[in-house]
Structure 1
Amino acid sequence: MSTLNKCNPLAKAVRSALFAGAATALTFAPNVFAAEDGEDTEEQKVTITGSRIKRADIETSSPVQVTSSEEIKLSGYTRIEDLMNSLPQVEAAETSFLSNGAAGVATLDLRGMGAERTLVLINGRRLQPGGVYSQNPDVNQIPAALVERVEVMTGGGSSTYGADAVAGVVNFVMKDNFEGLEITAGASGYQHDNDNDYIQGLLDDKGFEYPTGSSGIDGKTYNLDITVGGSFDGGKGHATAYATYRRVNELRQGARDYSSCALSGSGRACGGSFNAVVPNFDIYPIDPISGDTVYGYAQYSPDDPNYNDAEDADNTIYGVNGRPGYLDDDENFVEYPWANPESGANKWYTLTPDSGFTGVGNNLYNYAPVNHFMRPDDRYTLGAYVNYEINEQFRPYLEISYMHDYTKAQIAESGTFFAEEYTISCDPDTSPLNADQLAATCGNYGLNANSGSTDNIAVYIGKRNIEGGPRVGILDHSSYRIVFGTEGDINDRWAYDASLQYGTTSSSNAYINDFFGPRITQAISANGLTCDGNCVPYNVFTYNGVTPEAAAQLTGTAILNGVTSQTVFNAFVTGELDATLPSAETPIAAVFGVEHRIEEFERIADEVFAKGQLLGQGGETPSIMGEYDVSELFTELSVPLVQGVEGVESLTLDLGYRYSDYSSSGSESTYKVALDYMPVDGWKVRASFNRAVRAPNVAELFQPQGLGLWQGADPCAGAIDPDTGLVGSGYTAEQCARTGLSTSSYGAISASPASQYNGLQGGNPDLKPEIADTMTFGVVGSPFEDFNFSIDYFNIELEDVIGALGGQLIIEKCAETGLALFCDKINRSGSGSLWLGQTGFVERTNINLASRHWTGVDLSANFQMELGDGILKANMIGTYMTKKEYIPLPELPEESYDCAGTVSTDCFAQPDWRHSLKVSYSTDSFWTVSAKWRYYGKVDYTGTADELVGEGISSQSYFDIKGSFDVADGVGVLVGINNVFDKEPPLVGGTLSNNANAIAGFYDVLGRYIHASVTFNF
C-alpha cells in the first residue's frame, strides 16, 4: 500500500482533505499519492469547483460537496435529478413526477432559491438552457453512467463563472479518460401496498374506485449504457465515447390508492371538478333593459338613464325602488326575480335523467386517476471526449454530446371549463334548451320564454370530455453541445486555456385532444348560431346526449416550437506570479481571463396556442423571441499570507473579481474575498464573502403578457358562514369590496374546485439584475483518527428579486390594506369570479421584488474503522435551515414571512433539518453492502394551509439498502431497494400539492424503488 510523503505540501493537503470529507478525498486520492521513499516527487495540483486556480489543497475556502461515481451507481437512479434531489441542499424543481404544466425537462434548485439561480456546469463550463417552457439547464443532457463525480458548491460563484451562480454551482465532471469497454444494463420499478385506510374511506364516501393490495412492480425503467475509451497515437491522444438509452414506462395516479382522487383544499375529502361527465351549468339572466348579464342582483339608481318610474306607461324601461322589472298586461309593475337578493333564484344547475334541470348538488368528476403520476420517457445520449498532446504548449481537446428526449404529459380530459360565456335564446323555437329547462331558467328569472321571445340568458358550461379521452402534451427535446479548445504550458509558471463552446436545444410541444373553443359556440347553437351542415350537435343540454363523434369535432391541436442557443468564448491564463510574501513560502497564484457569451431564445406558437383557443390551457401561450450578450473580464488571486510558523500552518487570502457588460441591463461587478486558515495539520477554518448577480433571462425580459393560471385560493370566494356572517376566510364584505367584489356578490361566488385562478403574466424588458451577497464561515477538522467533519454556516441575502407577486398574496393584502399597489392588480369579472371565463384575473407580470434572506448550516461527517475482514464506513451530510425569509415588497416589510420549517401556498416544504446517513461494509472478497437513512424533518402548516388536516407534515424517514457483487472477472451485479419500508408520501390538500396529493419529486411518492443492474468490463 502506498504511503503519503509527509514532507510534500501536497501530501499535507491530502491529509487535510481526508480529514475534511471522505467523499472528496476518495475521489481524488488515486491522483495524489506520492512516489516511493527516495524518489523525486512533483507537487500535483488540481482545479476544484469555485476557482480556476490550480491548487494542491483540494479543500477550498468555499464549501464543496462531492458525490462520487460509486455513490451515483449505488443510488440506482438513472435520472440525474432524482440523485441530486436526495441531497439535503437541493429542493425539487422540474422532475418526471410533474404532469399538469410539465416542461418536459429536469432542473436543479440549490437551497430552494429557484432553478434559475443554480449554475450548472459540465467539466467547468456552462450547460445551455433547456426547452420551450424553461430557460434553465436541462440535466437530462447528462448521462448518469458517464459522471465521474458531482461537485456542489453552495454559495455565490459569479466572480468565477459569471451570472446565475446565486445559490451556487453544480459541476458535473465527466469520465474523459476511460480505458476499455464497459456495458451496463439495468432495470428498476416501484412496488407499493395499497392500504391507506384514511383515503380509502374518503374514496368510499364518494363512491370512487381505487386499487387495493400489492401494486406489483410498475413504473418500470430500463437502461443500457455503453462506454468505450483508450489512447491512440502512441499515447499522445485519448478518446472516450459513450451511448446510453433509457426508457421509463408511465404510471398513472389511479395506480395508487392515495392518489386515486384529488383531495380538497383542506385534505378532508375527495374533491373533484365541476366539469363533470353530466354537465353543470352556471346560468345568469341577461337584463332585457340594458342587455347586460346580471351576475348579482341588479339595482338602478334613479339618476341612471336606464331607470324610469313604472307609472310612465309610454316608456319601455322600468324600475321601482332602484330595482328593474316590467309591466304586465294590466300595466302593473313586476320586479324581475333576479333583482331581489332574497328571491332565491338559482344560478347553478345540472341535468336530471329526464333532461330537466336541478340544483348542481355534488355532481363532481374524479379527474385524478387518468393523470400521469410519473411521465413516460424515452431518452438516448451520444457523445465523446477527445484530447491530444501535440506538445506541452498545445494540447487541443474536444467535447461533443447529443441528447434526444421524448416524453408525454397526460392529464385529465379536456372540457368546457366554464371558460366562455354563451348567449342562449329564451325562444323555444331556436333555443337548444327544452321547455322544462327554459321554464327553470328564463321563466324562473322572469324572462319571456315564449315563441318569438327576444330575451336571453348567459350560460357557462362545465362538461368534461369523457367521450374524447385525456389531454396529452407531447414534449420533444434535442440538445447538441460542442466544446473545442486548447490548453498548454506557457512556461514553468504559467498555463493557458482557451475554448469556444456552442450549445443548442430544439424543442417542441404538440398538445393534443384539448377542446378548441371557437367550434363549441356553433355546436351548441349559441350566440345566434345554428349547428347545421357538417356540424355535429354537441348536446350538452341532453342527459348523456354527447356522442364521441360530437366530441371529436371539437378537439384541436396546438404546436409550440422553440430553439435556444448559447455561445461562449472563454480564455484565461493561470499560474504563479514572481512574488512571494516574506511570511510565506508559496508564490502568489493568479488567473486573468476574458469571456463573451451570447444567449438566444426563440419560441414560436401557432395561432391556437397564441390566442389561447384551447380551453384547457388556461390562457394564451405567446411566442417569444429575444437575445442578449455579455462581455466579461475576470481575475483571481490566491495570496499565501503566512506559512509554516507555529499556530499558522498556512493562511491564504483568495480574491476574485469579474466585470460584466450586459447588452440588456448594462454593467455589473461581482467579487469574492475568502480566507483559508490552517492552524495545524488536519484542521482548517475558512470564511468567504461573494457578490453574485443574475441577469434576467430572455423569457423574463421578452415574454409577451397574457393570461395563465396560478395555484391558490380566492379568500373572498365561498359561502357566508351562518355563525360569523363572513365568508370562509373571515374577510368582511367591506374588505372584499376593496378587491373589486360587489356587495351583492359577497358570499355568492364559488371557489375554483381545482384551486386554479386566472393571472395576467409575462415579461418585462425593464428588469434589473438580481444582486446577492453570500457569506460562509466553516470549520474542517479531525478530532481523532479515522473521523473527520466539516461544518459551514451560510448567509445569503438576495435583492431586486425577479419574479411575480403571488395571486393570493395580492388579494389578501388588498383586502387587508386597501393599497392601490395591490388592489389595482385585481380585475374581477362581472360575476366577481377570478376563474369563471377569462375576464377576471390578477395581474402577475415580472417585476424586481424586494429581497430574500437565507441562513443555515451544512454539516458533513465521515468515519471508518476496520471490522473483521473488512472496513466499515459511515458518512453523513445534513443541512439545518435557520431562516428562509421572503420580503415581498419594500412598502410592506412587516409582511415578510419565514419559510424555514413551514409549508404553505407561498412556501415550499422545507424542513429545518434534513440529512442523509450512509453506512457501508466492504471486504476483500466479492461483496459490499450499504444502508442509507434519508431524513426529512417536520414541516408546519402556515397561512391558508392551517385549514389542512393535522398540524403539518410529520418527519419522514426513508431507508435504502444496496448490495454489489463481483460474480466473475469483469462482471459486477448491483441490487438495491430504496424506501425499503414502503413509506407513503405525506398527503396534502389541493392547494399545496404539485401532483397526486403530494409534493412530488421531493418526498418518495411511489413506494419501494427496486433496482438491479449488471456491468461487463472488457
Structure 2
Amino acid sequence: MSSAVMAQDAAAEGESVERISVTGSRIKRTDLETASPVQVTSKEEIKIAGFTRVEDMMNSLPQIEASNTAFQSNGATGTASLDLRGMGPQRTLVLINGRRMQAGGINSSAADINQIPAALVERVEVMTGGGSSTYGADAVAGVVNFVMDKNFEGLEVTANASGYQHDNDNKYIQSKMDARGFDYPTGSSGIDGKSYDFSVTMGGELGDKGHVVGYMTYMKQNELRQGARDYSSCALNATGTACGGSGTTPNPNFYLSAANADGSFNWDDYEYWSLNSDSTFTPDTELYNYAPVNFFMRPNERHTIGMFANYEVNDNFRPYMEAMFMRDRTVAQIAESGTFFNDNYVIDFDSPLLSDAQRAQLTDRFGLQSGDQFATYIGKRNVEGGGRQDQLEHNSFRLVLGSEGEISDTWTYDTTIQYGSTSSSSAYLNDFFGPRIFTALSANGEDCASTDGCIPYEVFTYNGVTAEQAKTLTGTAIMNGVTEQIIFGGFVTGETGVSFPGSDTPISAVLGAEYRKENYSRTADEVYEQGLLLGQGGTTKSINGGYSVRELYSELRVPLVQDIAIAESIALDLGYRWSDYSVSGAEPTYKVALDWDVNDDWKLRGSYNRAVRAANNIELYAPQSTGLWQGTDPCATATPALTAAQCANTGVTAAQYGNIGKNNADQYNALFGGNPSLSPEVADTISFGVVANLFEGFNFSVDYFNIELEDAIGTIDPEIIVEQCALTGSATFCDNVQRTPGSGSLWLGDGRVVATNINLGKLHWEGVDLSANYATELFGGNFSTSLIGTYMLTKEFDNVPGVAPAYDCVSTLDNGCFAQPEWRHVMAFNYDTGSFWRATVKWRFYGEVSDYSGTDTLVQDGIDSQSFIDLKGSFAVNDYTTLLVGVNNVLDREPPMVGGSLATNGNAIAGFYDTLGRYLHASVTFKF
C-alpha cells in the first residue's frame, strides 16, 4: 500500500496524520508521493549496502554518475560529490534536512558529502528535474536531500570493517606487460584496501518539551595502489593495444640539438636519444611504467561530530539547532616527478657532467667543439625520490539556528540563520622544483659550483643520480583557502481559507524570503603561483571572490476538484522565485505541476520547472593558468589522423606534418580559467508519469523527464577544439590552438590549447525512471523485492551551437563521453524470517555502451553490459546486538578496461563500475 493510501485510510478512521515537508516543496502534506518524482532510499538500505562512504551508496543509484570519488588520485579534490543525471555536480543541489550545504572546499564548489554521518541518515530523497523555484540556484538536474533522524532515542554504537579481494588473472594485460618486461601481481590479492569505521549515536528527550541527538564517527581508509591489481599495473596506451608509459624515464631520454644563437632549441636539426648502460647516447629509447606507484584508492582519515536539537518553549516559539563538524585528511599520490621535457636547458659542451664519449657523439652529429653549447629537453624520472603526494585536508563546519511555530490555527512560520564554512589545504610534496634543475645542471647561465647546497645532477651518467642528489631538487607547494556560506531566510506557510468550487480543501501557500552570501578565498604560495614545480602542468593562482543573492519566493497548492467520476482529487502546484544576483542581475524561476489522484490505486502527475544555475566562485574568479588535458593530438605521429590541409588549420607547417611527436602519457597543455562576466545557466524541465498500486503488495511508478539547458557554463574539451579547428578552420576554434614554434607540439615548450570558461553550450537530457516494489508473506517470513532503473533516451551536448555538431552521449564513448548506458538498474531481493536473520541479494546492472568510432581496440565494439551481485546477511544476536556481513561483487567482476584516452584511473572508469574486485564487509551494532 502506498503512503498516500495509508494516509487516506488513517484520516478516514479519525487518526491524527502527521504533515511533513517532502523534497521539492515547502508545503506540508500527508503523503510522500508528489507531482514531482522523488526516489527514497531508506536508512535500512543504506546500512545493508555495507559502504563506509556515503558516496559509494549514492553512486550505485542509476540516476547518479560517479564524480569526485575515493578512486581518483591525479587531480583529486579530496572531496566526494554527487552528479545527478551526469549533468555535473555543480548542477546537483545537495541539502541536509531541506537546507543547502556549503561548497566542499578550495578545489570544488560542489557540496562535500563526506560531512554526512551515514549512521544518522533516516532517508535520502532524490528529486530529479528542476527545483530552483523551491530552493534557489543549482537544482538544475535535481535535488538530493539527506534527511537526518532528529528523533533518534537511545544509544547506538556501530563498528565496521571492510576490504577488497581480487584474483589477478587478466591474461590480456599480463601479456602486454610481459612484452614490456613489467612486473605485475598474480593470484589472490588477499584482503587489501582495508577500512575501519566506528560511530556512536545518542538521543533522548529534553523533558517533555524537546529532543537532542548527538553523533560521532571515525573512519580510516588504507591506501591501495594501481600495482596491487594486474589490470592497472601498467598504463595502457590510447589504443589499448600495449602498455604505454612515459618518455620521462629513470635513465633519461633527451631531445638534443646545437643551441641556436639565442639559446633556443633547433627543431630543424635534432636527435631523440637515451643512455646506454655505458652512458653513451643511443636512439633506442625506453618508456617508464608509471602506473604502479599511483594510488588506485586514496588513504583517508575522517572524524565527524555533531548534534541536532529542538525545544518547544510554546506553540509559537520552537527553536532548533543543527551543528556539524568534519575533519578529513587524505593523500593523493601519483607517479614520481621528473623533468618532463619541460624546459630547454642550454649546457656547455665542456660540462663535467658529460663524458668524453658523449662529447664525441655531439661533435660527430652536430659539429660541436670546445666552447660551444648544446640545447636539450630532458625526460628524467625521479625514481630516487618517490611518488608525488598531494596532502589534502578539509575542515568543515555547519551551523543552523532557527525557530518555527504557529502564527494561527492554520499558519506556521520557519526562520533560519545558517552558516557553513570549509577550510582546506593542499601541501604538494616531492615534486621537482624547476629553478633548482637549472642550477644543478649549470645550465642557462646558472652555476652549481658556486651555489650553496647544490649537488650536480648526474643525468648524463647511467644510474648516476643518487637519492641525495634528488632530495636537493624537490620542493613543496602550499595552498590554503576558506569557503563561506551565510544564509538568512524565513517563510510562512498555511491554508488560505479559500477553495475552488469543486474542492473542499483550501488553497495552501508559502511566502518566503532569503539572503545568501557565498565567499571564496584561496591563497597559493609562490611555488604554486609561479608554477615552479615541474609536475604540476602549469601555475596555480590565488583566488579571492564572492557574490550574494537576494530572493523572494512563493508556492501555491491549489486543489481543483475532489470526489468526481474521473478523480478523487486533482491539485495544481505553482511556484515562483525572484533571484537578484550581485554579479549578473535578476533571474526568475518558476514551476507548474499537476497532481491527479485517479483513485486509491492510481496517480497521474506532471510538471514543468524553470531552473537556473548562477556561476560559482571558481567559475567566476579562477585565474587563467596552464594545466593538462587527457586525449590525443590528431596531427601528431608519423601518420597523423588528419590530412596536411586540416592540420595546417591548427598551425602545423608542411615541414612539421608527420614529424610532431605524441605524448606517450596522452597528456597535453591547455590554458584554463574563470570568467567574471558569466551569466546564469537557464534550464527547462518537463516530467510526467504514473504511480500505481496494481494489487496488494505491489506498486510502481514510471516517470519521463526532459531537461533542456542553455548558456551552459564550462569549457570546450581541448581535444574537440583541436579537431574542430582542423575540420572547419573556424577562428572560434583555431584562435585557441597555440603550437610550439619549431616543433608544432601541444605539450613540449609553450604549446597549448586555450579552454577558459564561457557561456555557450546547450544540453538536452531525456529519459525514463522506473521504480517498483513487491512484498508478500512467504514460508512464515516476509519476502520483498524492489527495482529502480533509468532508461536514458538522450544525453546531448551542443558545445558550440551552429558551429560544431551536437553529439549524443547515451551508449557512446565518442567525444569524451562518460560511459552512460541506455539502461541501468538496481534490483534487490529481501527475505526476513521475522525471527533473528534477514538476507538480501542485490543485482546492479549496467547496460552496454555500444557506440565508439575511435581507435581504442578494447572498446572497439563498445563496453558489454555489466552485472554485479551483492549478498548480505543480517542477524539479531540478541535484543541489543545486530551483526551484518556481506560481499559486494561476489563474482569478482573487474571493471571493463579502456585505453589511456578514456580511462579516469587505472585503465578503468573508476568509481562507476566496481573498481577493485570483491568488497567484503562486516559490522556489529549495539543499541540500548
State the alpha-carbon separation in 1 of the partners of residues 631 and 846 from structure 2.
Answer: 25
**2:265–2:344 Cα contact (<8 Å) kept:** no
2:724 aligned to 813, 820, 834, which one?
A: 813
Hey, what does 2:505 align to over in structure 1?
586
Q: Does 1:516 align with 2:425?
A: no
1:832–1:840 contact (8 Å) kept in structure 2: no
Residue 392 of structure 1 and its aligned partner are, at CA, apart by 0.6
Report what 1:245 is aligned to: 218
Distance change (3 Å), C-alpha of 1:654 and 1:122: same
From 300, 308, 312, the counterpart of 1:389: 312
Match of 1:500 among 417, 427, 431: 417
Quote how far apart the aligned CAs of 1:432 are: 3.5
Aligned match for 2:145, one of 171, 182, 196: 171
For 2:669, give the aligned amino acid.
N
1:184 paired with 2:158, answer: yes
Which of 836, 839, 842 aligns to 2:753? It is 842
Distance 1:703 1:524 in 2: 35
Alignment pair present for 1:913 and 2:836 = no
Residue identity matched to 1:598: K
Rounded to whole Å, the distance in 2 between the matches of 1:807 and 1:896 is 16
Aligned to 2:679: 768
1:32 deviates by: 9.1
CA–CA distance in 1 between the matches of 2:216 and 2:855?
Answer: 46
Aligned to 1:853: 764
Partners of 1:906 and 1:991 in 2: CA distance: 8
Matched, 1:433 2:407: no
Q: Runs of 4+ in structure 1 displaced over 6 angstroms?
A: none
Among candidates 281, 302, 312, match of residue 357 of structure 1 = 281
1:269 is matched with which residue: 242, 248, 252? 242
Match of 1:472 among 367, 389, 403: 389
Please point out which of 239, 262, 282 is paired with 2:255: 282
| 1:491 match | 408
The separation in 1 between residues aligned to 2:295 and 2:132, in whole angstroms, is: 38
Does residue 939 (structure 1) correspond to residue 849 (structure 2)? The answer is yes
C-alpha contact 2:96 2:148 (8 A) present in aligned 1: yes
Tell me the equivalent position of 2:299.
376
SS class of match (2:655): helix
Per the alignment, do residues 616 and 752 of structure 1 end up closer, same or farther by CA in structure 2, a change over 3 Å counting?
Answer: same
Structure 1 or 2, whichever has the larger Rg, is: 1
Other-structure match for 2:227: 254
The answer to whether the 8 Å contact 2:812/2:852 transfers is yes
Indicate the residue corresponding to 1:536 in structure 2. Answer: 455
Asked whether 1:229 is paired with 2:203, we answer yes
Other structure's SS at 1:266 match: coil
Cα gap change, 1:439 to 1:661, in 2 (>3 Å): same
Shift of 1:732: 1.3
1:438: how far off? 3.1
Taking the aligned partners of 2:416 and 2:371, their CA distance within structure 1 comes to: 79
1:905/1:756 Cα in 2 relative to 1: closer, same or farther (>3 Å)? farther
In the TM superposition, what are the counterparts of 1:740-889 in structure 2 within 5 Å?
740-889=651-800
Per the alignment, do residues 142 and 644 of structure 1 end up closer, same or farther by CA in structure 2, a change over 3 Å counting?
Answer: same
Q: Is the 8 A contact 1:904 1:945 kept in 2?
A: no
Q: Hey, what's the Cα distance between the residues in 2 that align with 1:200 and 1:488? A: 67
- The correspondence of residues 654-673 of structure 1 with structure 2, limited to 5 A, is 654-673=573-592
2:184 is equivalent to residue 210 of structure 1:
yes
Secondary structure of residue in 2 paired with 1:1012: strand
Answer whether contact 1:851 1:886 (CA < 8 A) is retained.
yes
Partner of 1:320: none
Change (3 A) 1:149 1:944: same
Correspondences of 1:309-458 after superposition (within 5 Å)? 338=269, 347-361=271-285, 363-426=286-349, 428=350, 430=351, 432-445=353-366, 447=367, 449-453=368-372, 456-458=373-375
Q: Pick closer, same or farther for the CA change 1:675–1:136 going to 2, 3 Å.
A: same
CA distance in 2, matches of 1:376, 1:905: 32
Q: How many residues align?
A: 926
Residue 994 of structure 1 corresponds to: 904
SS at match of 1:696: coil
Match for 1:148: what amino acid?
E
> 1:115: which partner in 2?
89
Q: What is the deviation of 1:292?
A: 4.7
Distance of 1:626 and 1:377 partners within structure 2: 30
Of residues 949, 953, 968, the one that matches 2:863 is 953
Letter of the 1:716 partner, please give it.
C
CA contact (8 A) 1:421 1:837 kept: no
- For residues 293 and 461 of structure 1, what CA distance do their matches in structure 2 show? 12
Q: What displacement does 1:924 show?
A: 1.8
The whole-number CA distance in structure 2 between the counterparts of 1:736 and 1:167 is: 38
Give the whole-Å Cα distance in 2 for the aligned partners of 1:291 and 1:925.
83
Q: Secondary structure, in 3 states, of the residue corresponding to 2:475?
A: strand
Q: Secondary structure at the match of 1:745?
A: coil
Name the CA distance, whole Å, in 2 between partners of 1:771 and 1:184: 44
Aligned to 2:29: 55
- Given that 1:903 and 1:942 are in contact with CA atoms closer than 8 Å, whether structure 2 keeps it comes out as yes
Which deviates the most, 89-98 or 40-49?
40-49
Distance in 1 between residues matched to 2:74 and 2:282, nearest whole Å: 32
Q: Please name the residue that 2:473 is paired with.
A: 554
What is aligned with 1:975?
885
2:493 is the counterpart of 1:574:
yes
Q: Is the 8 A contact 1:712 1:905 kept in 2?
A: no
1:330 match: none
Partner of 1:326: none
Distance 2:711 2:12 in 1: 56
Aligned amino acid, residue 47 of structure 1: S
Contact 1:905 1:991 survives alignment (8 Å): no
* CA distance in structure 2 between the aligned counterparts of 1:570 and 1:261, rounded to whole angstroms: 53
Offset at 1:578? 1.5
Equivalent residue, structure 2, for 1:156: 130
Partners in 2 of 1:877 and 1:450 — Cα distance? 75
Shift of 1:920: 0.4
- For the residue of structure 2 that corresponds to 1:944, the secondary structure is coil
1:717 and 2:636 are equivalent in the alignment: yes
Does 1:929 find its partner at 2:839?
yes
Structure 2 partner of 1:293: 265
Given that 1:834 and 1:842 are in contact with CA atoms closer than 8 Å, whether structure 2 keeps it comes out as no
Shift of 1:891: 2.9
Separation in 2, partners of 1:111, 1:451 = 65
Query: Is contact 2:156–2:926 with CA below 8 Å preserved after alignment?
Result: yes
Q: CA deviation at 1:905?
A: 4.9
Compute the displacement of 1:412 (Å).
0.8
Q: Is the 8 A contact 2:555 2:573 kept in 1?
A: yes
Counterpart pick for 1:700 among 619, 638, 654? 619
**C-alpha deviation, 1:546, in angstroms:** 0.6
Sort the Cα spacing of 1:472 and 1:808 in 2 relative to 1 into closer, same or farther, 3 A.
same
**Counterpart position of 2:914:** 1004
Instruction: Provide, for residues 1-29 of structure 1, a one-character-per-residue CA deviation record: whole Å limited to 9, x for no partner.
Output: xxxxxxxxxxxxxx54378xxxxxxxxx7
Aligned counterparts of 2:623 and 2:860: Cα–Cα separation in 1: 42
| Residue 530 (structure 1) shift | 2.6
Question: Which runs of 5 or more structure 1 residues have no equivalent in the other structure?
Answer: 1-14, 20-28, 298-337, 339-345, 721-726
Contact 1:250 1:376 in 2 (8 A): yes
Pairwise CA RMSD of aligned residues? 1.5
Kindly indicate whether the alpha-carbon contact (under 8 Å) linking 2:347 and 2:441 is maintained by their aligned counterparts in 1: no
Contact kept, 8 Å, 1:814 with 1:820, in 2: the verdict is yes
